[in-house]
Each structure stands twice: as C-alpha cells, then as structure tokens.
Structure 1
Amino acid sequence: MALDVELAEIRDFLARHAPFDTLPPDVLAELPRRMTVEYYRRGRTIITRSKDNHSLFVLRSGAVDIHDDQGTLVDRGEAGDVFGSITLVLGNPSTFDVTAIEDCLVYVLPEAEFRALTAAHPDVAHFFDEQRAHRMRGAVAKLQDSGSTSAMLKTGVRDLIKRAPITTTQDASIAQAARTMKEHGASSLLVMDGEQLAGIVTDRDLRNRVLAVGVSPERPVREVMTAGPVVGDADALAFEVLLEMVGRNIHHLPILEHDLPIGVVTTTDLMRMVQASPVYVVGDIQKQSDVEGVATVSARLPAVVEALVGQDASADDIGRVVTAIGDAVERRLITLAEAELGGPPVPYTWVALGSRARLEQALAADQDNAIIISDEATDADLAWFEELARRVSAGLVECGYPTCPGDVMATNPRWRLRLQDWRQEFATWLTQPVPDAILQASIFFDMRPVHGDSGLFPELHHGILARAPQSRLFLAHLAKAATLNEPPLGFFRGFVLAKEGDHAATLDIKRGGIGAVVELARVHALALGSPAVHTATRIQAAIAGGIMSEEKGADLTDALEFISYVRLRHQAAQVREGRPVDNHVNPDQLSSFDKRHLREAFAIVRSAQSAMASRYPTTFM
C-alpha cells in the first residue's frame, strides 16, 4: 500500500509538469514504475561534462545549475524541470555539467524507457525537440556574442534616419531651394513630383552647378538637381548602403519605403559608426585604373574576412560583405573592359549566379556569371560580348576568382544569350525537365543583376516566377536533388568523413550542409513564386507561405548560420596560417561544443529534407 501511495504521488507530480502533463492517464499511471528515485546532496555533480549520460532526470525538489564547456552558467533548474535530454537526443558525451546547488530529490528515467516514451508520444518528443532547438539558437548566439561586433554590421538604415526628408517641388527656384536648406540646416533637399521622388539637390550641387558657372538663382531647381538619384531601401543594413555610396562616389542617399522617401543618410552619418570597415576596400577598388590594381586591392579580402570572424560578426553578415566586395571587383573589371572596347552595341545585363547572387559568398569561391543581351543584338554584335566576357573572366582569375569547373560563366556561349533565348532556356527547364539537366541548371535560379541595363533582368525574372509554381514535375526533380544531398551524418550521429584523396578524414561542410539548405530553400521559394534569392529570406517566404512552420524555419535558419560560421572560422584559420582556403573541415580540430552543435545542425537539415521528400514524392522518379 505504501508503495502504491508513493507511486501515486510521483504520478500526480508528473501530471503537473511538462511534458508529462500531455500523457494519457494510463500511461502516466504506469510511468512512475519505470523510474527510480535518487537523492543528491548539495554540491554533488549529477551529470558530468565529457562523460556519458544515459538517463532523463526530473527534479522533484531542490535546485541545480547547468554550466557549458566554457564554465558559463546557461540555466538553473527548479522543481518540475527536466535535464539530461540533450545527450539522449543528440548523443554522448555530455557538453554540460549539472550540479546540485541545494539538496535534491530526483526522479530518474532510464534511456531505454525515454526512447520508448518519445517514440509512442509525439507531444513528448516535440517537447524535447524544443529543448534541442533552444540549445541550437543558444549555440548560434554564443558564437556571435561579442562586444567587439561592428555596429555597422548590425544597424539598419532606418535607425540612422533622425528626421523626415526636407523636400521641395521641381518648379521651386534655386534660391528658394537654398533658403529651405538653410532654414533646416540640411545639406541636401529632395525634389518631388507629387509624392514621387524626382531628384536631389545638395550643397555641393549649389556650389558646382550654380555659383561656379553663374546660373541664375531664379531658374527652377529641376535644372540643377540630380534626376532619378540612386536610392536605398529602408530595410537595408548600414554597411550595405555605405558600400553602395562609396562604390558610386555619392554622399547623400535618399531612403525609400514602399517607393516613398522617408529620409536621407549621408556618408558622414555612416562613417561616424566605424573607424575601419570593408567599405574602404570597395572604395579602393573603384579607384583602380587597371586590372592589376583591382587584383592588388581584392587580395585584401581574406584579411577582411579574418577580421570579421575575429569580431564575431555573423556568417550572414560576412557573406554580404564578401559578396559586396566581389560585386565591386566584377563591376570595376566590366567598366575597365567597356572603356577599352567602346560602349556596348546594345543594352545588356551582367548577372551573378549562385552564392554571390544569394549574397552568401565565402572565400574559395569561383566564377559563376552570365550575360542577358537585348533582343536587338545582331550576330555581329555578339562578338563584342564574347570579348567582354573573355576580358572580365581573365581579370577575375587575376583577382583570385578561379574559373568555374562546370563552365557556368559568360565566356561559355550557352550562358551569353539574348533575352528571348534565355526565356526559351528557362521554359525548357520548367516544362520539359530532365534530371541531369535540372541539376546543372539549378544555379540559374539563383540570379542577380550586377551591371548594365536595369530592365532586362526583371523581364526574364518575372516570367520565371510566374511559371515556376505550376511546374510540378520540375519542382519534383529539384526536390529530389535537394533530398539526395545528404548531410555528412551517420546512422548513429557520427560524422561521415571523406575516405580518400587530398581531403581524407574531413567533412565537406559546404556540400551536405550549406548546399543542402540552399537547395531546400530554393525549391520552396520557387514553389511559391517568391522573388527571394537570399536563403534565409527564402526560408521566411516558406514560413509565410505555409510550407514550413515558424519553428522549423527558425531551426533551419539557425542551422545554416551555425554551419556557415564554422566554415568561415575554418577559412579564417587557413588565412592566418597561410594555407589554401577550402570547405573541408577536420572534426579533430573542432571543440566538443562545435561537434555537438554541428551534429545537431546536420540533423535539422536531414529532418527538413525528410519533410520535403514527403511534400514532393520522388520515389519513382
């Protein structure tokens, strides 16, 4: 009878605490028989870091502290809390110490019973998966937590705008515009056509375009304004717009939200935030008069990445910086080539493909680019673009961007096409998909304009987005390719390492990690007709479109960030040591923290692949 009373007390206690409160009454009544009761005196270690744990602990009374492998207090457990599940879910050894800070009474469930319970009751399994997700997000935060992180990489442009834009009309006189600027203490004035931005006039314009050349101050301001000025987006980051401003040698940038101006930022506003920044690399690139000079400046990129990793900038932010510098290199090389060849015979757009199109470029990146040419081009005109591609590609090699092994470059005539031919190419991929061709073509669905005519790319892109959601067979082929690119994780959560070659005993962290997430996000975005190209933005689109839950989307985003950061830190170490940069990580050089959370990140990717396989059945393809 005493035993039954004790078991009933345990049952009643469990029924008041998650996740046991979701169990059916009969299961809850039987569970105490599977558990033992342990007593731990204050100061005793219950779970020891670097040692195996095979039990789930439920704290009945007392309190425990949980410390990570750096000795940092990460959690404090009180009555009703559970601990030990991380090792049961992710595998041993433990990366945490759990120590009693008061005398503790603990209910202990053996590993075998834990696995049977979670297998039979999805709600319980979900609860412990939530704990794992919390640890994943904590791991990402820990990697990035540093007081030295550059404010430039975290601050949004919206946060820099301190007042509404100062405006005037196109018909206002130059004198009236100058008085308005003086009254508001402004160095620039937005010139409006109704609610739309028509131009901008700055104090420099008043000096150079009015006073220096004797223009009457009674003339309308539209005659001296900069019409159709370069603008920034309110949701951009500060460093992105500063890169744009330095690259174009402009000092005032109107900021738009929903096509309406909400303010102006200046280079002075932005430069106050930093003493040194990657923007100087971009500025120096723009000043170079030959390929050799561009190559000299671009050689500073690895050091920039090393510094950013040292500042604990996020992998996403670093990817944007590397991309922006790559864009600047490519634009300058194109401009230099155009100057030597003469202006283009017809409009064209040079586009980036792959990781740089997604704003996710790292070190060790090769060339991926193409050219969209106006349909006006004659066969004779095409020779000009062939020579442009040859010169730019050779310049990129000199600047440290090797040629693409798959020949996905503008030097390949297959990827240097008129607009109508690009439309036909994409139509074939979408309506008559062949598995091998789809695998090779997937990179073209990550495309972003870098230089040239602003209208050609939207014409092509809008058509692709309109057709993709209806192209079910194409999406199924793409989904199959995404699910076959498995993370390097074995059945028992051990890493799968390369067995031979130059990279034996290492993890290809790009192919089955970063690449797998990229492919998953691409399929979801195209299925929704989303214009997003950046992978994290594509995941957000999948959440908004109901394809992926917010929880799973956050997990996948965190997994991508963690894997990407491990890669960048690996590459930064190679830079410091003067070794060639690659994507192959030796797990023996990772901390236990990194190994544990890398396994967890790979498991998240694998789970997302399983969900995709269910959404797009590919068994018989």
Structure 2
Amino acid sequence: MNDTLLPNVTSFLKSISPFNQLPDEVLDAIASEASILYLAAQDSLPIEPESKHYLYILRSGEVEQRNPDGSLRSRLGTKDIFGFSLHQSQDHPSYRVNALKNSLLYRFNYTELLRAVADYPRVSEQLALSANQRLNSSINVKFSGEKSLFFQKISTVASHNIVVAPSAMSIKEVAYQMRHEHACSCCVIVDQEQLQGMVTDKDMTKRVVALGVDTSQPISTIMTRSPHTIAQDELVLSAMQMMMQYQIQNIPVLNDQQQVMGVITPQQLVHKHSIQAVFLIEKITHCQSLDELEKQAVERQAIFEAMAESDLPGQVIGQVMSLIYDTFTQQLLGMAETVFGKPPCDYVWIAAGSHARKEIHLASDQDNALILDDTATESDQMFFHHVAMYVCKGLDQCGYAVCSGRFMATVARWCQRVEIWQHYYRKWAKNPEYEMLLNLTVYLDIRPIYGNQALFEKVDQYRLQQVTHNHKLMAALVRNTLRTRPPLGIFNHVVLEKNGANQNKLNIKRSAIGCLVDLARIYTLYEGGDPLNTEERIQFAKDQGVINEQSALDLLGTYQFINQLRYSHHLKCLRNGEPVSNYLDPNQFGSFDRQHLKDAFRIISGFQDAIKMKFGC
C-alpha cells in the first residue's frame, strides 16, 4: 500500500469494532497489508481462487450479497464487514457481491489477519469464521458475589449426603442410617428407582417419638407421600421460592430420568454460602392487600436492572422474572379466595405464552387462563369470572399489562371446564385456520401456576396428543411464522417499521425473537416434546436428531445474542426514563453490532428456509 494512504486506513479501522481494541502498532501492520478495491454501481466483486480467503470492509457505498439461487443474503453499508470466504462451506454458502452504488472496499488476507490479532483473543473471536462463534464472543456472562448463587443451577449446590431407603425398611433402621451412617436430616423413600416419599428428622420426632409409634413398622407408614420436588436444572432461586410458598425445608432434587440425585435445604445454603434468603419473593408472600403488592413492583424493576447490569444469561433473567410473576399471581389468587370465599370446585390457573416458557421481561403483558373441573356449573363459572377479574386487575396494578388480544382468564372463552379445553385443542389441531391458529399459538405453551395440577395435566396431555406428528398443523404453523422474515437489508433503507411512533426502528421481538421461538416450538411439538423454554426446546430437537449439533449451536448462539441485545436495550430505556419496549434504534449500533445482527438474521432466515422445505410449505 502507498504509505501516504496508511494513516487514513488506520484511522478508519480505529472507528470499527473489534479493531478499535487493538494497539496502534498492530493496526498499522494490518492496514499496511490492505488492498483497496473500487466497484462501480452494478459491478460484481470478482470471485477469488478457493485457496484465498479475504475479509472486506466497506469504506463507502452499498453492496448486496446474493445466494446462488438469486435470493437476497444481505445488504451492506459503510463500515459493514463481510467475507471470510466467498466459497462453499457449512457456515458460508457461496454468494455473489454486487455493488448497488459506487463503492470503496478494503480487503484483508483473512489468514494473515488472524495471525496479526492472535495475541488478542477477544478480537480474534469476533473475527472467527463461524457466525455462531462470532455471536458467542459478543455475549457477556458474569457470575460474581454471593447473590450469584441464586442464579446457578440446583445441581451445583445440591447435597448428595442423603439416605435412600425402600418403603419396606423399618422406621428404626432408617433412623439409624440418618443418625449414624450419614448424619443427615432427611431420607428419601424409593422403590424401583421412583420416589415414593420422604422423612425428615422432624417427622421422626412428631410422628414417631411423640405418638409412641412402633419403630419396627415400615417407614412408609409415617413418610410424607409425593413430596414437592425440583429438577436439577432449575435455578436455586426456584427452590427458595418453593420453600417459602409451601413452608418446606427439604426438597428432593431429580435428574432427567426423574430419579433422586440429592436434596437441597435452606440450612445447607446458609451454611455453605453465608447468605440470608431475603428476597422480593418472600416479601410478596407476606402481602395481604393489593396496595402492599403494588409497592413491590419497584423492587421487581430493581432486580431486573441488577441482573441486566451483571450481564446474566438471558435465560436466567427470564426465569427469575417469571418466578417473580408466578409469586405475584399466586399471592393474588390466595387473596381472591379470601375475598370471594372457598372455590365451588377444583380449578387451576395457567400461564400461557412467554410466561409459560419462563421468558418474562419487564415489558411482558398477561397471557393466562383458567381450567375448571368438569363438574363446574354456570354459577361456578361466574364465581371464577370474579376471581379472574380480581387477579388480572391486580396484576395490571403490579406492572403486568392486560393482554391487548384479550387472552386472559377474564374472558369467558378462556375460563372453561377440562372437556371444553380439550375440545378447543382438538378443533384447533384439525382445522388450523387463521383465527384458530392464532388461539392455538398463544395456548400452545401453557404451565400451571396455582390450583389442582391434575386438571392441568389432563388438558396438557391432550394438547400434546393433538399436535404430535400433526403434519397439517405444523405446516400451518410454518406458514404462519414465515409471514415474518428477519431483515436482511441495510437498516436505514428497507427493513424497519414504517408507520407510527416507532417509525425507522427495529422491532427485535418480531424480527428475530418471535421467529426463533416459533422454530424451536415447531421442532419440539412435532416430535411430541414437552419442554417449554426455547433454549430447552432447541436442546430437545438436537437430542432427538431433528437438528444436528452445529445447527443447535447456531440457534442457541443466535437466541442468546438477540436476548442479551433486548435486555440491554430494556436497561437503557430504564436509565433514560423511557418506556420499556422492543424497538431498537439502528443508529445506536456500531459496525460490529450490525455485523452480529446480520449474522443472526442470516442464521434465522436459513432455518426458516430449512423448516419450509421440511414441511413442504
């Protein structure tokens, strides 16, 4: 390169991430190896020999990338980065680059560039050949301080020091093992690897010693049957919520095969980590009025801000916010029963949509419903209508806005007996027309919050039966999700909202998150899977062989990156005193942020094309 041009190239690189993280001497060395290319409008970038791999940076102008079939891959503008290889590979199918305007480009030998930045891992990761690796390099995850314990998985803190005994073992033998063999406070009762019950040292005192029970009797006579359990992949915070909600102190931890792998207790947490369990969740459970509950909404926002500032994984933030949402709902339902009296029949309150998936954020609204016992009368339904009005109004006061589509238990249609809900799923699954499909899409993801879980299981099992291997339904769901395609063009030209207050903004929920949620849901439901969380669904699809490992990594990396982008935007809204929204201003993105987004959009678009072919849409 002409030495007179070197300062100009170096200065330009300093304005672009990740090059702005490099010292001047490294930038000078990189700039000195740059080639300068000029493309007139309508010109195409020459295809280099397969042995050559280049990275290009657009200094000025506009270009577009076209796939071999002529479809748009991406449109790029000033400071956008592309290339790595224009040749066929798993991550980068061959494509052509055409200039839309007169364009000036800097070209760098990709292999030499990686050597130049080898001592700077953060930079080299963001220049990786794999789009998934580039996205992952932009995801910041921090776990620090004592409070981080509550955002870790149960499996990391569960105690394995626990007595496991068959139901026929005598009370005396179990007590001996608890006291002398393991020196622990509880025993789980297991027959044929399935949990039957649990006994604690307090049970021994209250149910055996105090009542003078013959200790030669089997332990099954005094055990707590069907105890509350928790999965090993749940957050420690979930266990704390369960302890407070049900006033229990010993929770068996189950692995993926529903086998006991340990136990978690509050004493153990305090002993190991010197933490006092004083949380918003506990405060909510002690509220006795709507006014008291409403005051807790401010702390809910503070907790979100703390998590977002700590760059916790999006899945963790969603789970914690969902736990708080659950607790608000459960407390309101308990208060409603006090106000209106004992329910006339069994019922269960369910969450739907993102709340059911445990993907809640500060802008989430209400999606809920009521399932009533089949004995419910019209009079009973009127009782539950009043309960629903009380709860939904209370949630609105606590910051959970009413659903604009009215998918709430206050609507008579969504407060029905088990048999009616089963009829709904049967009708939706057999005739996936637009209105029915919209209803089904909302209530495809459901989770029990409060009440008789057996009623929920009847409906949920029927739901799964109706959707599993239902090709007609899945094809309809695919066509529905293909109505929204991720933007592949230059942000300030053709891909943004065009009307209303959010004109020229990027709707990250509709353009990306919704697409990923739909893809994971379709993959999972077609195979009869019951995971709800999007990341868990992607993992399920990989485990079932529906997608390969690389595809799962691409989907997970994309989803995690997009979610972190959304949560960072929500945090910025709060700091600026603005309403929390999903509309992002592209003018706030740096060049590499745009590059990451384009990587993410291309990955989503590719999976949309693949699922379209799979279901023949």
TM-score scaled to structure 1, two decimals? 0.78
1:32-431 correspondence to structure 2 within 5 Å: 50=13, 68-71=19-22, 82-84=53-55, 91=76, 118=87, 121=88, 125-126=92-93, 134-146=130-142, 148=144, 151-152=148-149, 155-168=152-165, 170=167, 176-183=173-180, 184-192=182-190, 195-206=193-204, 215=212, 218=215, 220=217, 222=220, 224-257=222-255, 258-271=257-270, 280-431=279-430
Any idea what SS the aligned residue of 1:84 has? strand
CA–CA separation in structure 2 for the residues paired with 1:410 and 1:124: 45
Any idea what SS the aligned residue of 1:484 has? coil
Question: How many equivalent residue pairs?
Answer: 548
Q: Which residue does 2:530 correspond to in 1?
A: 531
Per-residue Cα deviation, 1:562-605 (whole angstroms, up to 9, x for no partner): 11111111111222333321111122233433232122212221
Moved more, 158-167 or 305-314: 158-167
Q: 1:456 to 1:49 in 2, by over 3 A?
A: farther
8 Å CA contact 2:492, 2:586 repeated in 1:
no
Paired letter, 1:84:
L
CA–CA separation in structure 2 for the residues paired with 1:547 and 1:458: 26
8 Å CA contact 1:298, 1:329 repeated in 2:
no
Q: Which residue does 2:36 correspond to in 1?
A: none
Moved more, 192-201 or 461-470: 192-201
Q: 1:141 to 1:67 in 2, by over 3 A?
A: closer
Measured after TM superposition, the shift of residue 81 of structure 1 is 8.8
Paired letter, 1:521:
A
Measured after TM superposition, the shift of residue 353 of structure 1 is 0.4
Paired letter, 1:160:
V
RMSD: 3.8
The answer for unaligned runs of 5 or more in structure 2 is 31-50, 66-73, 96-109, 111-124
Measured after TM superposition, the shift of residue 330 of structure 1 is 0.7
Measured after TM superposition, the shift of residue 46 of structure 1 is 8.2
Q: 1:467 to 1:420 in 2, by over 3 A?
A: same
Paired letter, 1:231:
T
Per-residue Cα deviation, 1:438-487 (whole angstroms, up to 9, x for no partner): 13431110111111112222222222222324433322221111011122
Paired letter, 1:203:
D
CA–CA separation in structure 2 for the residues paired with 1:166 and 1:209: 18
Per-residue Cα deviation, 1:81-114 (whole angstroms, up to 9, x for no partner): 9451687987465589xxxxxxxxxxxxx98xx9
1:589-600 correspondence to structure 2 within 5 Å: 589-600=588-599
CA–CA separation in structure 2 for the residues paired with 1:72 and 1:154: 37
CA–CA separation in structure 1 for the residues paired with 2:520 and 2:228: 31
Moved more, 444-453 or 278-287: 278-287
CA–CA separation in structure 2 for the residues paired with 1:138 and 1:124: 12
Any idea what SS the aligned residue of 1:143 has? coil
8 Å CA contact 1:200, 1:227 repeated in 2:
yes
Q: 1:39 to 1:235 in 2, by over 3 A?
A: farther
CA–CA separation in structure 1 for the residues paired with 2:366 and 2:278: 22
Measured after TM superposition, the shift of residue 155 of structure 1 is 3.5
Paired letter, 1:140:
N
Per-residue Cα deviation, 1:112-145 (whole angstroms, up to 9, x for no partner): xx98x63xx4569449999767354344344324
Q: Which residue does 2:121 correspond to in 1?
A: none
8 Å CA contact 1:47, 1:84 repeated in 2:
no
CA–CA separation in structure 1 for the residues paired with 2:212 and 2:2: 91
Moved more, 82-91 or 498-507: 82-91
Paired letter, 1:607:
G
Q: Which residue does 1:484 correspond to in 2?
A: 483
Paired letter, 1:411:
T
Moved more, 276-285 or 366-375: 276-285
CA–CA separation in structure 2 for the residues paired with 1:537 and 1:192: 28
Paired letter, 1:244:
M
Moved more, 306-315 or 491-500: 491-500
Q: Which residue does 1:467 correspond to in 2?
A: 466
8 Å CA contact 2:467, 2:525 repeated in 1:
yes
8 Å CA contact 1:191, 1:200 repeated in 2:
yes
Measured after TM superposition, the shift of residue 430 of structure 1 is 1.0
Paired letter, 1:603:
R
Measured after TM superposition, the shift of residue 495 of structure 1 is 7.0
Paired letter, 1:237:
L
CA–CA separation in structure 1 for the residues paired with 2:526 and 2:573: 39
Measured after TM superposition, the shift of residue 490 of structure 1 is 2.2
8 Å CA contact 2:304, 2:321 repeated in 1:
yes
CA–CA separation in structure 2 for the residues paired with 1:443 and 1:72: 51
Paired letter, 2:178:
M
Matched, 1:561 2:532: no
Measured after TM superposition, the shift of residue 316 of structure 1 is 1.1
Measured after TM superposition, the shift of residue 334 of structure 1 is 1.0
8 Å CA contact 1:174, 1:219 repeated in 2:
yes
Paired letter, 1:566:
L
8 Å CA contact 2:333, 2:391 repeated in 1:
yes
8 Å CA contact 2:374, 2:417 repeated in 1:
yes
- Structure number with the bigger relative contact order (C-alpha 8 A, sep ≥ 6) is 2
Paired letter, 2:524:
A
Any idea what SS the aligned residue of 2:354 has? coil
Measured after TM superposition, the shift of residue 175 of structure 1 is 5.6
Any idea what SS the aligned residue of 1:199 has? strand
Paired letter, 1:496:
V
Any idea what SS the aligned residue of 1:455 has? helix
CA–CA separation in structure 1 for the residues paired with 2:501 and 2:236: 41
Measured after TM superposition, the shift of residue 282 of structure 1 is 1.3
Percent of counterpart pairs with the same letter? Answer: 28
Moved more, 450-459 or 223-232: 223-232
Per-residue Cα deviation, 1:502-549 (whole angstroms, up to 9, x for no partner): 222321111111111111222222222221221122222333344433
Matched, 1:613 2:584: no
Measured after TM superposition, the shift of residue 321 of structure 1 is 0.7
Paired letter, 1:180:
Q
Q: Which residue does 1:515 correspond to in 2?
A: 514
8 Å CA contact 2:141, 2:310 repeated in 1:
no
CA–CA separation in structure 1 for the residues paired with 2:57 and 2:532: 34
Paired letter, 2:596:
H
Moved more, 431-440 or 298-307: 431-440
Per-residue Cα deviation, 1:152-208 (whole angstroms, up to 9, x for no partner): 366432232453521345566656544432212212222445644333232344455
Q: Which residue does 2:115 correspond to in 1?
A: none
Q: 1:278 to 1:127 in 2, by over 3 A?
A: farther
Per-residue Cα deviation, 1:18-46 (whole angstroms, up to 9, x for no partner): xxxxxxxxxxxxxxxxxxxx899xx9998
Per-residue Cα deviation, 1:298-332 (whole angstroms, up to 9, x for no partner): 33111111101111101111011111111111111
Paired letter, 2:281:
V
Paired letter, 1:514:
I
Measured after TM superposition, the shift of residue 556 of structure 1 is 1.8
1:574-593 correspondence to structure 2 within 5 Å: 574-593=573-592
Moved more, 460-469 or 137-146: 137-146
Any idea what SS the aligned residue of 2:130 has? helix
Q: Which residue does 1:61 correspond to in 2?
A: none
